[in-house]
Amino acid sequence: MVASEIATIFFLFNAVLRGSLVQSQGLQRGFYDSSCPDAEDIVRSTVEKYYNNDATIAPGLLRLHFHDCFVQGCDASVLISGASSERSAPQNFGLRGFEVIDDAKSQLESTCPGVVSCADILALAARDSVDLTGGPSWSVPLGRRDGRISSAADAKALPSPAEPVSVQRQKFADQGMSDHDLVTLVGAHTIGKTDCAFVRYRLYNFTATGNADPSISPAFLPQLRSLCPPNGDPARRVALDRDGAGSFDAAFFKNVRDGNAALESDQRLWGDDATQGVVQKYAGNIRGLFGLRFTYEFPKAMVSLGGVAVKTGRQGEIRRKCSRFN
């Protein structure tokens, strides 16, 4: 297949994505076309401004949207500040991008006050982050309203890096999502980094006999150990996608297949019968083409995620500031 044919396939995929991902759970495409026609442009320009200054903000915003949707649904509950709020939960330590959302919200309140929800800003910022890192773009169904509950105790619904795949699958099922959605959304780890604190336990005495996690590739283990020595800085950053943390592509799944995943939870996707087939599908065997299917499926999974337990109509509120209830 020549380059022009591949380019044509990408064009057709984008056309399908933009035209078909329109409605989800009572949300709709173009929700602000009349009430705040510049809403999406304002969010995009804000994300782009921060991204141009620090490209690592992109995975931060993507993760922020994910963490929001898994607790109380996609209602911006993770943005509320306070001693017992969801944002303060241990599961949410290290979340980034709050200032980007606050900046976009401030501009939107000046342009069309009381119209655009913080939850919708989160969904748009996640989409724009993927696009800016070379991934696909898609039409984001909008119309979410912001929730009035934010509790640290509810963050237990979030998947954990040390949990077995069976637990993660159940947590996704609890949100109405499938095993296929699980693998596809974990593909977001194609961008971003994690702390040595979440990796080092795999590298030393994992089996209680001094050995490392046997699922780690022998060729990859020395690289991880050099980054995360036994008494090293637990906050040192490790790429989630070996040698490609800044570019949104399907190479992450080749790393999972080959034993080169930094997180145990990512690597376990290859060892589980329910998820291995999806990993293999995305990893592919045809040079240069393995990323196309993932590029098509990821936006669909993001639309599913963005529709989890949304509040619409007269539910919830439209916050004036994203960090506090009205």
The catalytic residue positions are 67
71 is in an annotated binding site: yes
Distance CA 32, CA 142 (A): 8
113 is in an annotated binding site: no
Q: Are 133 and 248 in contact (CB under 8 A)?
A: yes
241 is in an annotated binding site: yes
Q: Find how far residue 254's CA is from the centre of its chain.
A: 19
159 is in an annotated binding site: yes
190 is in an annotated binding site: yes
Q: Supply the DSSP symbol for 211.
A: P
Q: Name the one residue in this structure whose structure tokens are 């109509």.
A: 313
From residue 304, give the alpha-carbon distance in Å to each of 147, 149, 308.
Answer: 19, 22, 7
Q: Name the one residue in this structure whose structure tokens are 């020595």.
A: 229
Q: Tell which residue, 317, 303, 307, has the closest CA to residue 80.
A: 317
- Positive or negative, the CA dihedral 80, 310, 40, 187 is positive
189 is in an annotated binding site: yes
77 is in an annotated binding site: yes
> What DSSP letter does each residue of 67-130 carry, written as one string?
HHHTTTSSSSGGG--STTSGGGSGGGTT---HHHHHHHHHHHHHHSTTTS-HHHHHHHHHHHHH
Distance CA 176, CA 308 (A): 7
Q: Which residues carry a binding-site annotation for substrate?
A: 159
Q: Which residues are annotated as a binding site for Ca(2+)?
A: 68, 71, 73, 75, 77, 86, 190, 241, 249
Binding residues for heme b: 189
Known binding residues: 68, 71, 73, 75, 77, 86, 159, 189-190, 241, 249
